[in-house]
A and B are shown apart, each in its own frame.
Chain A
Amino acid sequence: MSSSRRDLAFAALTLALFLAVTFAFPGFAAPRNLAGLLDDTAILIMLALGQMLVILVRGIDLSIAANLALCGMIAAVFDRAWPGAGVVPALVITLVSGALLGAFNGLLVWKLRLPPIVVTLGTMSIYRGAIYLLSKGAWVNENEMSRGFVSFPRLEFLGLSLLSWLAIVVAAVFMVALRRSRTARDLYAAGGNPEAANYSGIDAGRMQFIAYTICGAIAGVCGYLWVARFAVAYTDIALGFELSVIAACLIGGVAIAGGVGSAVGVVLGCLFIGIIRSSLPLVGISAFWQMFINGVVILVAVFLSARQREYKRAILEVRA
């Protein structure tokens, strides 16, 4: 199945889920509720798009949530020290620091040829530990943050929060760039067959470095957005969130073996998780079932794509 056909099928499934929930709870489709759903899913969408780049080139970024938390703390500490500085410095600082943390992962994978899962498992702990060193274990609360800093992601524009708009813009850029930019086509090539990429003059390791850096930059900015949205920064924010991000990628059709994935699929994967997450409380089902359902969906998705690849080579003559 080509990835566009898979996306179409998955879009139909997500729509069916949405309609089923709406049928049971007509209030679910109210504009207000949908805007809230998008707002809740926006950070997941941006992170999953970054993570997708890394998985495309046969990597994985387990440190993505720790990177987010560290950059969020950096932003919070910065805002506490210079309350009047505004939002732009916070965005720039988190973008740069996130990119640096991602580039560190990328360098270890590229230059030292360490396995990505080991590298990012290590940096995940390092980045979390660094938050503790930076904050000395203390929280930065809403009353220590400036008004502009906290309100930025919640500014409304045409009925949607600025956070939602950011996710829409990032998703749109990914959709165009993944299809049309030459760097992105090199990413797909390097992930699909690193050896062949090497023979074509593409340095697969360098492509991994680029993917990690972009992923890190996104995680950094999301760190500021997360801290501002929840108006608190502490060591354990977004703890374990990397697994939701990876789950969204897998549900959205990104192949863990690399080389396959689309921005549309990943956004749908995030929305799928978002719909389940926001509808379950309506049905009165616990959060445990949300994890359970996500898990089943991942296994079914992976099973289906594995079955897809297994085709039988017919040796016998076909008889009329």
Chain B
Amino acid sequence: MHASLLSLTDIRKSFGGVRALERANLELTRGTVTALIGENGAGKSTLVKILSGIHQPDGGEIRFDGNTVRIADPQAARALGIGVVHQECLAFDNLSVAENLFVNCQPSRRGFVNWPAMRAQATAVLRDLDADFDANAPAGSLSIAQKHVMQIARALAHESRVLIFDEPTASLSQRECAELFRIVHKLRDAGCALLFISHKFEEIFALADRYAVFRDGVSVGAGSVADVTGDELIRLMVGRPVDQLFPKVETTVGDELLRVDHLSRAGEFEDISFSLRRGEIVGLYGLVGAGRTELAQVLFGVQPADSGAVTSTADIALVPEDRQTQGSILPFSVAANIALPNLSTLAPRGWCRPNDEAQLARQWIERLAIKASGPEQPVHNLSGGNQQKVVIAKWLARRPGVLILDEPTKGIDVGAKAAVHAVTSEFARDGGAVLMISSDLPEILGMSDRVLVMRRGRLRGEFTRAEATSEVLLRAASDA
């Protein structure tokens, strides 16, 4: 049995009146990967912020190597040897990789930054990780995956013994994930204690030795990954069994609503042809960077195509991947967001009628079970899943014929995910056509009538629901 390196006992933290953590417990041991699981709002991010010295807990005890400690600020966390790999890739794009590794603690001589020593140390750490980029490269030139490696290097440069990965694979391709997992295993074998936060069960089962589940800021379970199933973890996370995930309803496929012929856009995608029919959900699978989002933007008309044709007999709506910047106007209320694409019907003469807007918003809040205090609540106060519901509502309210969803459930919790799937199925049942872009294989397999696979800007295959399996889709999507 390994000795516990970092243990948290009964950690409490509130912001204003809102309780983020209540009786949170966590145990990290050397040479072990622990997965931290929980729905959005379960308190995972707050815990990470406490461990990295950004927030102070209101109560509870943190023990490091047997001693009670206080992590007063990020420097204290670094001094203890706690390193964090953040989801959003907190990097200084204007600075070199070497500077990024040693920001705020540069090797120095007589008060001056010792550049040669800094570059040499950075190069050594990068070599340990088999990184494919140079210490002198500007961080802004790195890919997201490389920035993750850079953050890991930053932690190692400070001789971290505890590494926290906050949803590191959210925007990585399959191959980049494999590379990350290789590094994680290497660090584990070197005796680091690792905490891995993830929404993806495949990852948890592939990577973690132990798990800890949070629900509403409370630890509700922990144990060995070998002794647990995915269903049990879901039950712990949501406190009830969730069986309505992928509530695909059988529909009759009708006439063609959208036809795409030999569509191309330079540097993004080439020679794409397919069609969408009434009542159909077509999954569009591919790795990050395959050109799926770019295709969706051309179909919706945000970007022009270079050649080819899109023929549609119905309105097209797009729910974009990034709900915060492209999907919604965050400071606007729920009502104003839903009204935005519907102003031609709500305000035919150019004058807005707040009552009608609120009325429309109330309908959709009820229909999609959006957790908002009312039509007037600003969207930036909602959780990610509820923001996504607002974005979907604003387009469904237009009654489009074709709905394009770009990563509709990325980063949202299980409950909201089920709601999004339910409304998508309903839309198809009522005679709409859906193009669902997703990197989430279970979602693609569970929801689609047909699956299109894109790789490097081209369509690499089309599969019926019966033909589509994880292996088949993955093979088509990756460089074979």
Per the bound structure, the CA–CA distance linking A313 and B144 in Å amounts to 13
Residues 158-204 (chain A) with a chain B CB within 8 angstroms: 179-182, 185-186, 188-189, 192-193, 195-202
Please name all residues of chain B whose beta carbon is closer than 8 Å to the beta carbon of A286 when the two chains form the complex. none
Nearest CB on A from B450, distance (A) = 23
> Judging by beta carbons under 8 Å apart, are A182 and B113 in contact?
yes
Nearest CB on A from B410, distance (A) = 19
> Judging by beta carbons under 8 Å apart, are B104 and A192 in contact?
no
**Stretch in B29-37, B72-80, B337-345 with 4+ CB within 8 Å of A:** B72-80
Cβ 8 A contact of A315, one of B52, B92, B268: B268
**Does B53 lie at the interface of the complex (its beta carbon under 8 Å from any beta carbon of A)?**
yes
> Judging by beta carbons under 8 Å apart, are B267 and A192 in contact?
no
Residues 262-312 (chain A) with a chain B CB within 8 angstroms: 312
**Does B124 lie at the interface of the complex (its beta carbon under 8 Å from any beta carbon of A)?**
no
Please name all residues of chain A whose beta carbon is closer than 8 Å to the beta carbon of B112 when the two chains form the complex. 180-181
**Does A260 lie at the interface of the complex (its beta carbon under 8 Å from any beta carbon of B)?**
yes
Residues 230-274 (chain A) with a chain B CB within 8 angstroms: 255, 259-260
**Does A112 lie at the interface of the complex (its beta carbon under 8 Å from any beta carbon of B)?**
no
> Judging by beta carbons under 8 Å apart, are A193 and B92 in contact?
yes
> Judging by beta carbons under 8 Å apart, are B52 and A199 in contact?
yes
**Does B408 lie at the interface of the complex (its beta carbon under 8 Å from any beta carbon of A)?**
no
> Judging by beta carbons under 8 Å apart, are B113 and A185 in contact?
yes
Please name all residues of chain B whose beta carbon is closer than 8 Å to the beta carbon of A186 when the two chains form the complex. 103-104
Cβ 8 A contact of A199, one of B86, B99, B268, B269: B86
> Judging by beta carbons under 8 Å apart, are B267 and A180 in contact?
no
**Does B251 lie at the interface of the complex (its beta carbon under 8 Å from any beta carbon of A)?**
no
Please name all residues of chain B whose beta carbon is closer than 8 Å to the beta carbon of A198 when the two chains form the complex. 54, 74
Per the bound structure, the CA–CA distance linking A317 and B290 in Å amounts to 10
Cβ 8 A contact of B291, one of A182, A312, A315: A315
**Does A2 lie at the interface of the complex (its beta carbon under 8 Å from any beta carbon of B)?**
yes
> Judging by beta carbons under 8 Å apart, are B93 and A193 in contact?
yes
Give the nearest-CB partner of B90 in chain A. Answer: A196
**Does B456 lie at the interface of the complex (its beta carbon under 8 Å from any beta carbon of A)?**
yes
> Judging by beta carbons under 8 Å apart, are A185 and B99 in contact?
yes
> Judging by beta carbons under 8 Å apart, are B456 and A201 in contact?
no
**Does B457 lie at the interface of the complex (its beta carbon under 8 Å from any beta carbon of A)?**
yes
**Does A30 lie at the interface of the complex (its beta carbon under 8 Å from any beta carbon of B)?**
no
Please name all residues of chain B whose beta carbon is closer than 8 Å to the beta carbon of A196 when the two chains form the complex. 90-92, 103
Nearest CB on A from B97, distance (A) = 13
**Does A316 lie at the interface of the complex (its beta carbon under 8 Å from any beta carbon of B)?**
yes
Please name all residues of chain A whose beta carbon is closer than 8 Å to the beta carbon of B52 when the two chains form the complex. 199
Nearest CB on A from B113, distance (A) = 5
Cβ 8 A contact of A314, one of B54, B74, B86, B267: B267
> Judging by beta carbons under 8 Å apart, are A181 and B111 in contact?
yes
Per the bound structure, the CA–CA distance linking A196 and B85 in Å amounts to 11
User: Number of contact residues on A: which range applies?
Assistant: 20 to 34
> Judging by beta carbons under 8 Å apart, are B113 and A259 in contact?
no
Cβ 8 A contact of A317, one of B92, B95, B268, B456: B456
> Judging by beta carbons under 8 Å apart, are A189 and B104 in contact?
yes
Interface flags, B88-120, vs A, CB<8A=1, else 0: 001111110001000110101001110100000
> Judging by beta carbons under 8 Å apart, are B290 and A179 in contact?
no
Residues 457-480 (chain B) with a chain A CB within 8 angstroms: 457-458
> Judging by beta carbons under 8 Å apart, are A316 and B95 in contact?
no
Please name all residues of chain A whose beta carbon is closer than 8 Å to the beta carbon of B268 when the two chains form the complex. 315-316
Please name all residues of chain A whose beta carbon is closer than 8 Å to the beta carbon of B289 when the two chains form the complex. 313, 315
Nearest CB on A from B322, distance (A) = 16
Please name all residues of chain A whose beta carbon is closer than 8 Å to the beta carbon of B75 when the two chains form the complex. 201
Per the bound structure, the CA–CA distance linking A317 and B112 in Å amounts to 46
Nearest CB on A from B143, distance (A) = 9
Please name all residues of chain B whose beta carbon is closer than 8 Å to the beta carbon of A312 when the two chains form the complex. 267
Please name all residues of chain B whose beta carbon is closer than 8 Å to the beta carbon of A200 when the two chains form the complex. 74, 103-104
Give the nearest-CB partner of A258 in chain B. Answer: B94
**Does B138 lie at the interface of the complex (its beta carbon under 8 Å from any beta carbon of A)?**
yes
Give the nearest-CB partner of A255 in chain B. Answer: B94
Please name all residues of chain B whose beta carbon is closer than 8 Å to the beta carbon of A260 when the two chains form the complex. 94
Give the nearest-CB partner of B292 in chain A. Answer: A315
Please name all residues of chain B whose beta carbon is closer than 8 Å to the beta carbon of A255 when the two chains form the complex. 94
Per the bound structure, the CA–CA distance linking A188 and B96 in Å amounts to 11
Per the bound structure, the CA–CA distance linking A188 and B268 in Å amounts to 34
Residues 255-311 (chain B) with a chain A CB within 8 angstroms: 267-270, 289-291, 294
Nearest CB on B from A147, distance (A) = 41
**Does B84 lie at the interface of the complex (its beta carbon under 8 Å from any beta carbon of A)?**
yes
Per the bound structure, the CA–CA distance linking A315 and B294 in Å amounts to 10
> Judging by beta carbons under 8 Å apart, are A189 and B92 in contact?
yes
Nearest CB on A from B284, distance (A) = 14
Nearest CB on A from B289, distance (A) = 6
Per the bound structure, the CA–CA distance linking A23 and B54 in Å amounts to 60
Per the bound structure, the CA–CA distance linking A309 and B185 in Å amounts to 36
Please name all residues of chain B whose beta carbon is closer than 8 Å to the beta carbon of A314 when the two chains form the complex. 267
Name the residue among A186, A189, A196, A260 with the largest chain B CB count within 10 angstroms: A196
Nearest CB on B from A182, distance (A) = 6
Name the residue among B92, B93, B112, B291 with the largest chain A CB count within 10 angstroms: B92
Please name all residues of chain A whose beta carbon is closer than 8 Å to the beta carbon of B95 when the two chains form the complex. 188-189, 192
Please name all residues of chain A whose beta carbon is closer than 8 Å to the beta carbon of B106 when the two chains form the complex. 182, 185
> Judging by beta carbons under 8 Å apart, are B113 and A179 in contact?
yes
Give the nearest-CB partner of A56 in chain B. Answer: B94
> Judging by beta carbons under 8 Å apart, are B456 and A315 in contact?
yes
Please judge, given known A-B contacts A198-B54, A315-B267, A316-B267, whether A182 and B94 are in contact too, CB under 8 Å.
no
Q: Can you offer 13 A-B residue contacts whose CB atoms are under 8 A? A: A181-B111, A185-B113, A186-B103, A188-B92, A192-B92, A196-B90, A199-B74, A199-B86, A199-B90, A200-B103, A201-B53, A315-B269, A317-B457
Q: A315-B289, A316-B457 are in contact. List 14 more A-B contacts (CB 8 A).
A: A181-B112, A182-B108, A185-B99, A185-B106, A192-B93, A193-B90, A193-B93, A196-B90, A196-B91, A197-B92, A199-B86, A315-B290, A315-B456, A316-B268
Q: 3 tightest CB-CB pairs across the interface, nearest first?
A: A196-B90, A201-B74, A201-B75
Residues of A within 8 A of B (CB): 2, 179-182, 185-186, 188-189, 192-193, 195-202, 255, 259-260, 312-317
